[in-house]
């Protein structure tokens, strides 16, 4: 995506079919104009058919579309059943537009390089991640590997493309050329093979372009775009991101089975799935003027997206997930960190074996409540770790001299991260463990425990993982995308109210004064380590005065200061969290289990109310 | 939506096994379609490019990279030996010369007048692949390898460590519910694949390595002992390259779980015969399961490439294994496949099936928590 995208084409549309071709499932949704508003009306899915024996992605697309057609009574396929019927002929025949995203076949995999790891290499990584790629490796002059080790690594990896940055314009030449020499020496090959040269994008110091051509022209399909970091103080990700998308279409997609045909059907370029999710996040943040944090927790990876003060960042935690990568969550978090969220006793060896068994049989689901609670404990840790990685990555430009004020010294969340939780307005969760939790309050608890929102934060989940479809729709008709996002995609869980700062145990933390929709008032004083739940519909909001009762605590107006705010409800309602930040659980086992059960009970999380 | 089941694991006495034997890089195929091959026969070979070593010669000589070519003693494309002089400065009146020598043998790949680097490509590394099983070559993929086909007994496991091994099978325990303890292992098991039962403790595996056992097949193993065994955790199930000294194949899963009786019986029947085993496991797209293949070594191998039938969905009477708590590792037969989803204890809705276990008790399991045992 370019940072300066061309103006969105707001084509008049009556109906849109959108598909997302995932690794295992192709999901189709139908969007129709109902009265004056766009709504998501029907959905269908079918197994993805990229791999043998079909090796043609369009088979899965047609199957998913046919399911939508059968459910909706709208004819969506051409008479021979071999294509999508566009444009709409009447309300029962055809659609005005067909669009698609794809992450099948492992998504878009890049290797990136830059001169200094925390500067140009980081900018290159940001461009690649923002375009929806998985970054397989980042190499730089100072990444502590010796040159021959880097060459060996580049040779082993078989990326879809390489993005090489390095040097500000007019800056270092030698280090950039040295990186290109290593790429040349490695003679990297494409993942999908097929006799095509590997696409390499050079987005570095413009004064070495000639050298780069000399070194890489004959071994790759080289593209040169504007420098990603023309000066220390500026980052220009747009041209590199756009080129990644172009090459994704021209090379990666064109070589994947059936995609040439699919590209001929779509009314907008096929986008990598995470790239499309990032786009809808940015659209919402821009339109509502809010800061947004999004997470998509899958079986193998966890993506985190954020838009703070208009700056978009995305990270992929490639080995944090709930099935294929679940053992990696155990390895990275450690068993005690997972166990701290489990409200009962369990033998540690047995738990390790259960997690291992989930890794080797990734499609299984919890059948017992105990299993569900364990899975949700693991999810908290996967989310927490992915979020730590995101905060470390979502930073201002490094290498730039900054003037700091005294206020900066009191900021939370790392010295230079853009992710400031007190400024966060909306948090959106998606992925099976969040979107399909049996009770919505479980999703809310998982997100609160993992992300530790501060101040006043709305929480929502993506109902059926519709965000990719809406991201690509936003490139065709932004209004349709945002209307469907608000009305059908998001399920608002409610609002979390949590004073930031360390609380003194056993003391009152927060005074909550509310004016409820029926006119009655509530005046409640909450002690530390409390979770208090107040049901409140999505369509309702309450006026609140929140007063921190400990001088260091902050609900958004500064330490110790009261805040007047309107709180919006949701399918769960309001959750007041006085556990302080960071959330620290008691070391003593029985005290911790007692506390966990109290919280489970307060929120009505499980049918057994946490007694088990 | 089509019914989707966890792919089943094969436990089959008579089947046709097709093995894809391909080189990592283009090379030479040494067999022809129709050839009968033995497991050790080399079917294809190639050379991997040698490692690449960049040396900053300009820095070593303390000269400007732009003038590096003036000092080079060898040209691009020239072979060099270890210690051979690459470049030398003129010095002062013939004294105080600086030189750079080759740290490895290889060929000069490039000389950069921007960075001052000289890149040496080391000697290529020969690579060859064997047939892995006794059988017939049914297809040659020019420049890449071939497909070898055989009549065989086939047992797929769920997780493994270590690569390909060919050795005779020997029973280490009498029943599928027994633990393969260290004292069950004897020196005459060296070079053989030992079949265990429900579990193998780490001490027994160490003992097996010490004795030179080629492989161990077991129902269960403890997940946390992988770290003890390898020195690192396996976070995602992509294995096969481990250097353990033996190949481990787990048929049921992590923990102490009796090996499926049908699996144990089949391995017992194959005892004494030579098996080809491979611990390589990949759970994600392009699934690879660890396996035990015992070929019949007859000449009646079909010359045509076998195309397996499309997998069928489960039906009543099929043998299945529970693969999640509370029925993990339990073997039974499908009784019913209700069309309507049911509400589980977790309050989730899921499609289910009714299973009757060996002790005649019945239970409802989510379909995704069941794996078929393909016989």
Write down the mean pLDDT value for chain A.
89
Pairing of strands B6-22, B145-156: antiparallel
Most B CBs within 10 A among A65, A181, A360, A372, hence the mutation to make, goes to A360
> Are B324 and A148 a contacting pair at CB < 8 A?
no
> Are B366 and A607 a contacting pair at CB < 8 A?
no
Question: What's the pLDDT score for residue A131?
Answer: 85
Asked if the structure places residue A1 within a domain, the reply is no
Q: Is the pLDDT of residue A370 over 90?
A: yes
Give B266-285 as a DSSP string. HHHHHTTSEEEEE--EE-SS
Average pLDDT value for residue range A93-112: 88
Question: What's the pLDDT score for residue B66?
Answer: 92
Average pLDDT value for residue range B231-247: 86
Contacts of A368 in chain B (CB under 8 A): 325-326, 345-346
Question: How far is it, in rounded angstroms, from Cα B126 to Cα B124?
Answer: 6
Question: How far is it, in rounded angstroms, from Cα A168 to Cα A206?
Answer: 8
How sure is the predictor about B7, in pLDDT bands with cuts at 50, 70 and 90? low
**Vertex A515 angle, CA A512 and A516, to 5°:** 110
Name the residue among B54, B236, B346 with its Cβ closest to that of A368.
B346
How many other C-beta atoms are found inside a 10 Å radius of the C-beta of residue B335? Answer: 14
Question: What's the pLDDT score for residue B250?
Answer: 97
- Beta strands per DSSP E along A83-146: 97-102, 108-114, 133-140
> Are A51 and B366 a contacting pair at CB < 8 A?
no
A559 and A426 assigned to the same domain: yes
- The answer, for A504 touching chain B at a CB cutoff of 8 Å, is no
Closest C-alpha among A150, A185, A152 to residue B121: A185
Asked if the structure places residue A478 within a domain, the reply is yes
Q: Which of A240, A260, A280 is the last residue of a domain?
A: A260
Residues 273-332 of A with CB under 8 A from B: 300, 319, 324-325, 327-328, 330-332
Question: What's the pLDDT score for residue A103?
Answer: 81
Structure tokens at B361: 């008790």
Name the residue among B65, B236, B371 with its Cβ closest to that of A319.
B236
Pairing of strands B125-130, B193-195: unpaired
pLDDT in tens, B10-46: 899 999 999 999 988 789 999 999 999 999 999 999 9
Q: Is the pLDDT of residue A414 over 70?
A: no
Question: How far is it, in rounded angstroms, from Cα A297 to Cα A322?
Answer: 7
How sure is the predictor about A192, in pLDDT bands with cuts at 50, 70 and 90? low
Measured between CA atoms, the residue of chain A closest to residue B120 is A185
Q: Which of A55, A76, A104 is the last residue of a domain?
A: A104
| Percentage of the residues of chain A whose pLDDT score is greater than 70 | 93
Question: How far is it, in rounded angstroms, from Cα A550 to Cα B262?
Answer: 67
Average pLDDT value for residue range B156-168: 96
Helices A209-216, A174-186: axis angle to 10 degrees equals 10
> Are B283 and A362 a contacting pair at CB < 8 A?
yes
Asked if the structure places residue A241 within a domain, the reply is yes
Cα-Cα-Cα-Cα dihedral sign, residues A396, A399, A405, A406: positive
* Cβ atoms of residues A579 and A530 within 8 Å: yes
* Cβ atoms of residues A124 and A136 within 8 Å: no
Contacts of A184 in chain B (CB under 8 A): 110
A595 and A448 assigned to the same domain: yes
Question: What's the pLDDT score for residue A411?
Answer: 47
Asked if the structure places residue A609 within a domain, the reply is no
Residues 6+ apart with CB under 8 A from B85: B73, B74, B99, B100, B101, B102
Please tell me the distance in Å from A366's CA to the nearest CA on chain B: 7
Q: Which of A70, A85, A104 is the last residue of a domain?
A: A104
- The answer, for A366 touching chain B at a CB cutoff of 8 Å, is yes
Structure tokens at A374: 């364990």
- CATH of residue A54's domain is 3.30.420
- Residue A532 host element (H or E): strand A531-534
Question: How far is it, in rounded angstroms, from Cα A184 to Cα B52?
Answer: 11
Closest C-alpha among B370, B199, B218 to residue A361: B370
Question: Hey, what domains does chain B have and what are their CATH numbers?
Answer: 52-122 (2.40.50), 158-289 (no CATH), 319-374 (2.30.30)
Most A CBs within 10 A among B58, B346, B365, hence the mutation to make, goes to B346
Question: How far is it, in rounded angstroms, from Cα B120 to Cα A279?
Answer: 45
Asked if the structure places residue A127 within a domain, the reply is yes
Cis peptide before B326 (omega within 30 of 0): yes
- The answer, for B348 touching chain A at a CB cutoff of 8 Å, is yes
Q: Is the pLDDT of residue A23 over 80?
A: no
Asked if the structure places residue A274 within a domain, the reply is no
3-state secondary structure of A302: strand
> Are A184 and B110 a contacting pair at CB < 8 A?
yes
Cα-Cα-Cα-Cα dihedral sign, residues A137, A142, A145, A147: positive
- B/e letters for A134-156, b = 16+ CB within 10 Å, e = fewer, are bbbbbbbbebeeebbebbbbbbe
3-state secondary structure of B225: helix
Structure tokens at A589: 């086992």
Structure tokens at B149: 């086909």
Q: What range defines the domain where residue A163 resides?
A: 107-260
How sure is the predictor about A251, in pLDDT bands with cuts at 50, 70 and 90? confident
Beta bridge partners of B161: B248
* Cβ atoms of residues A468 and A294 within 8 Å: no
A164 and A41 assigned to the same domain: no
Contacts of A330 in chain B (CB under 8 A): 233, 235
A146 and A28 assigned to the same domain: no
Measured between CA atoms, the residue of chain B closest to residue A47 is B2
Question: What's the pLDDT score for residue A402?
Answer: 55
A98 and A163 assigned to the same domain: no
3-state secondary structure of A312: strand
Asked if the structure places residue A281 within a domain, the reply is no
Residues 6+ apart with CB under 8 A from A470: A18, A276, A280, A481, A484, A485, A489
Cis peptide before A189 (omega within 30 of 0): no
Cβ contacts from A onto B, under 8 A? 173
How many other C-beta atoms are found inside a 10 Å radius of the C-beta of residue A421? Answer: 22
Average pLDDT value for residue range A531-543: 94
Question: What's the pLDDT score for residue B92?
Answer: 79
CA dihedral A214, A217, A222, A224 (to 10 degrees): 30
A506 and A533 assigned to the same domain: yes
**Vertex B322 angle, CA B318 and B327, to 5°:** 135
Closest C-alpha among B15, B3, B1, B9 to residue B312: B3
A306 and A377 assigned to the same domain: yes
User: How many separate domains does chain A show?
Assistant: 3
Q: Which residue has the higher pLDDT, A566 or B297?
A: A566
Alpha-helical (H) ranges within B187-342 are 202-211, 224-230, 261-270
Contacts of A105 in chain B (CB under 8 A): 285
Q: Record the pTM.
A: 0.87
How sure is the predictor about B357, in pLDDT bands with cuts at 50, 70 and 90? very high
Measured between CA atoms, the residue of chain B closest to residue A178 is B115
Name the residue among B49, B114, B285 with its Cβ closest to that of A211.
B114
Question: What's the pLDDT score for residue A400?
Answer: 65
How many other C-beta atoms are found inside a 10 Å radius of the C-beta of residue B250? Answer: 29
Asked if the structure places residue A514 within a domain, the reply is yes
pLDDT in tens, A512-525: 999 988 889 999 99
Please tell me the distance in Å from A125's CA to the nearest CA on chain B: 24
ipTM summary value: 0.89
Name the residue among A211, A357, A368 with its Cβ closest to that of B254.
A357
Name the residue among B235, B327, B347 with its Cβ closest to that of A325.
B235
- The answer, for B366 touching chain A at a CB cutoff of 8 Å, is yes
Residues 6+ apart with CB under 8 A from A533: A441, A572, A573, A574, A575, A576, A602, A603, A604
A496 and A458 assigned to the same domain: yes
> Are B159 and A300 a contacting pair at CB < 8 A?
no
- The answer, for B307 touching chain A at a CB cutoff of 8 Å, is no
How many other C-beta atoms are found inside a 10 Å radius of the C-beta of residue B356? Answer: 16
Closest C-alpha among A448, A436, A534 to residue A491: A436
| Percentage of the residues of chain A whose pLDDT score is greater than 90 | 67
Write down the mean pLDDT value for chain B.
91
Structure tokens at A489: 């995609």
> Are A181 and B121 a contacting pair at CB < 8 A?
no
Please tell me the distance in Å from A142's CA to the nearest CA on chain B: 16
> Are B283 and A436 a contacting pair at CB < 8 A?
no
Least confident of A477-491, B280-294, B333-347: B280-294
A457 and A317 assigned to the same domain: yes
Residues 6+ apart with CB under 8 A from A584: none
Exposed/middle/buried for residue B300 (C-beta within 10 Å: 0-12, 13-18, 19+): exposed
For residue A417, give the DSSP letter: B
Task: Please count the helices (runs of H) and the strands (runs of E) in chain B.
Answer: 5, 29
For residue A416, give the DSSP letter: S
Q: Is the pLDDT of residue A401 over 80?
A: no
Question: What's the pLDDT score for residue A5?
Answer: 36
Cα-Cα-Cα-Cα dihedral sign, residues B20, B21, B27, B32: negative
Question: What's the pLDDT score for residue A416?
Answer: 76
Least confident of A70-79, A143-152, B211-220: A143-152
Measured between CA atoms, the residue of chain A closest to residue B9 is A361
Beta bridge partners of A138: A112
Q: Is the pLDDT of residue A246 over 90?
A: no
> Are A46 and B1 a contacting pair at CB < 8 A?
yes
A132 and A191 assigned to the same domain: yes
Question: What's the pLDDT score for residue A612?
Answer: 42
Most B CBs within 10 A among A300, A356, A607, hence the mutation to make, goes to A356
A319 and A446 assigned to the same domain: yes
Q: Is the pLDDT of residue A492 over 90?
A: yes
3-state secondary structure of B107: strand
A97 and A111 assigned to the same domain: no
- CATH of residue A118's domain is 3.40.50.2300
Closest C-alpha among B207, B278, B276, B270 to residue B248: B278
> Are A365 and B324 a contacting pair at CB < 8 A?
yes
How sure is the predictor about A195, in pLDDT bands with cuts at 50, 70 and 90? low
pLDDT in tens, A156-169: 888 889 999 999 99
């Amino acid at each position: 995506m370019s940072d300066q995208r061309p103006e969105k084409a707001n084509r008049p549309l009556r109906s849109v079919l959108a598909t997302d071709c995932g690794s295992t499932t192709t999901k189709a949704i139908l969007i129709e104009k109902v009265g004056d508003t766009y709504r998501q009306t029907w959905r269908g899915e079918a197994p993805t058919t990229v791999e043998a024996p079909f090796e043609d992605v369009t088979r899965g697309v047609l199957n998913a579309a046919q399911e939508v057609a059968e459910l909706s009574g709208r004819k969506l396929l051409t008479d021979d059943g071999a294509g999508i019927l566009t444009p709409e002929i009447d309300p029962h025949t055809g659609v005005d537009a067909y669009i698609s995203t794809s992450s099948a076949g492992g998504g878009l995999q890049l290797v990136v390089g830059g001169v200094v790891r925390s500067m140009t290499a980081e900018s290159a990584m940001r461009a690649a991640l923002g375009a929806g790629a998985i970054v397989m490796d980042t190499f730089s002059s100072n990444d502590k590997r010796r040159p021959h080790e880097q060459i060996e690594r580049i040779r082993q990896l078989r990326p879809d493309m390489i993005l090489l940055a390095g040097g500000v314009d007019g800056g270092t030449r030698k280090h950039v050329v040295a990186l290109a020499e290593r790429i040349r020496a490695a003679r990297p090959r494409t993942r999908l093979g097929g006799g095509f040269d590997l696409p390499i994008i050079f987005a570095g110091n413009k004064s070495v372009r000639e050298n780069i051509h000399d070194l890489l022209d004959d071994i790759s399909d080289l593209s040169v775009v504007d420098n990603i970091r023309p000066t220390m103080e500026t980052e220009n990700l747009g041209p590199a991101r756009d080129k990644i998308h172009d090459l994704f279409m021209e090379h990666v997609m064109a070589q994947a089975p059936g995609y040439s045909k699919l590209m001929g059907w779509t009314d907008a370029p096929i986008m990598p799935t995470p790239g499309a999710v990032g786009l809808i996040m940015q659209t919402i943040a821009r339109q509502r003027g809010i800061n947004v944090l999004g997470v998509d927790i899958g079986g193998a990876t966890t993506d985190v997206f954020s838009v703070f003060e208009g700056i978009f960042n995305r990270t992929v935690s490639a080995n944090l997930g709930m099935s294929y990568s679940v053992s990696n969550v155990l390895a990275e978090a450690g068993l005690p960190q997972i166990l701290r969220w489990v409200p009962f006793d369990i033998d540690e060896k047995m738990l390790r074996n259960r997690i291992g068994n989930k890794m080797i049989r990734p499609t299984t689901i919890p059948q017992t409540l105990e299993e569900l609670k364990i899975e949700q404990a693991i999810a908290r840790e996967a989310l927490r770790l992915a979020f730590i990685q995101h905060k470390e990555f979502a930073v201002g430009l490094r290498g730039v001299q900054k003037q700091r004020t005294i206020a900066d010294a009191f900021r939370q969340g790392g010295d230079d991260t853009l992710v400031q939780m007190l400024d966060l307005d909306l948090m959106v969760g998606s992925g099976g463990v969040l979107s399909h939790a049996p009770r919505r309050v479980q999703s809310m608890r998982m997100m609160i425990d993992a992300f530790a929102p501060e101040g006043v934060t709305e929480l929502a989940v993506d109902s059926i993982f519709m965000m990719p479809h809406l991201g690509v729709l936003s490139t065709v008709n932004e209004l349709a995308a945002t209307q469907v996002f608000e009305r059908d995609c998001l399920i608002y869980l409610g609002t979390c109210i949590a004073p930031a700062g360390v609380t003194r145990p056993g003391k009152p933390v927060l005074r909550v004064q509310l004016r409820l929709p029926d006119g009655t008032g509530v005046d409640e004083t909450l002690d530390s380590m409390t979770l208090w739940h107040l049901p409140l519909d999505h369509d309702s909001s309450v006026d609140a005065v929140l007063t921190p009762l400990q001088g260091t605590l902050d609900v958004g107006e500064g330490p110790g200061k009261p805040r007047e705010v309107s709180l919006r409800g949701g399918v769960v309602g309001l959750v007041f969290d006085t556990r302080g930040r960071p959330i620290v659980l008691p070391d003593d086992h029985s005290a911790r289990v007692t506390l966990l059960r109290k919280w489970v009970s307060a929120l009505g999380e499980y049918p057994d109310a946490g007694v088990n | 939506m089509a019914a989707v089941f966890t792919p089943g694991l094969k436990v089959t006495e008579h089947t046709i096994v097709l093995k894809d034997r391909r080189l990592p890089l283009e090379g030479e195929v040494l067999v022809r379609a129709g050839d009968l091959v033995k497991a050790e026969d080399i079917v294809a070979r190639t050379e991997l490019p040698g490692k690449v070593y960049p040396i900053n010669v300009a820095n070593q000589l303390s000269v400007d990279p732009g003038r590096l070519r003036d000092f080079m003693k060898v040209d691009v494309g020239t072979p060099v030996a270890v210690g051979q002089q690459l470049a030398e400065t003129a010095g002062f009146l013939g004294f105080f010369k600086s030189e750079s020598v080759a740290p490895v043998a290889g060929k000069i790949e490039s000389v950069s007048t921007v960075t001052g680097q000289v890149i040496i490509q080391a000697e290529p590394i020969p690579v060859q692949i064997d047939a892995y099983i006794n059988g017939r070559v049914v297809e040659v993929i020019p420049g890449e390898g071939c497909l070898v086909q055989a009549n065989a007994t086939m047992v797929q496991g769920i997780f493994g460590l270590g690569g390909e091994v060919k050795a005779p099978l020997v029973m280490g325990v009498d029943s599928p519910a027994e633990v393969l303890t260290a004292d069950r292992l004897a020196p005459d098991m060296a070079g053989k694949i030992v079949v265990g039962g429900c579990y193998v403790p780490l001490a027994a595996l160490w003992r097996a390595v010490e004795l030179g056992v080629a492989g161990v097949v077991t129902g269960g193993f403890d997940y946390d002992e992988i770290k003890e065994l390898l020195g690192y955790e396996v976070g995602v199930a992509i294995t096969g390259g481990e250097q353990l000294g033996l190949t481990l194949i787990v048929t049921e899963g992590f923990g102490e779980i009796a090996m499926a009786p049908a699996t144990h019986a089949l391995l017992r029947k194959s005892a004494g015969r030579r098996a080809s085993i491979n611990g390589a496991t990949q759970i994600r797209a392009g699934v690879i399961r660890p396996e035990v293949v015992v070929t019949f070594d007859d000449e009646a191998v079909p010359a045509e490439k076998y195309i397996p039938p499309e997998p069928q969905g489960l039906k009543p009477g099929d043998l299945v294994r529970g693969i999640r708590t509370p029925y993990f590792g339990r073997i039974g037969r499908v009784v019913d496949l209700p069309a309507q989803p049911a509400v589980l204890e977790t309050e989730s809705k899921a499609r289910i099936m009714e299973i009757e276990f060996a002790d005649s008790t019945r239970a409802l399991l989510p379909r995704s928590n069941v794996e078929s045992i393909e016989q």
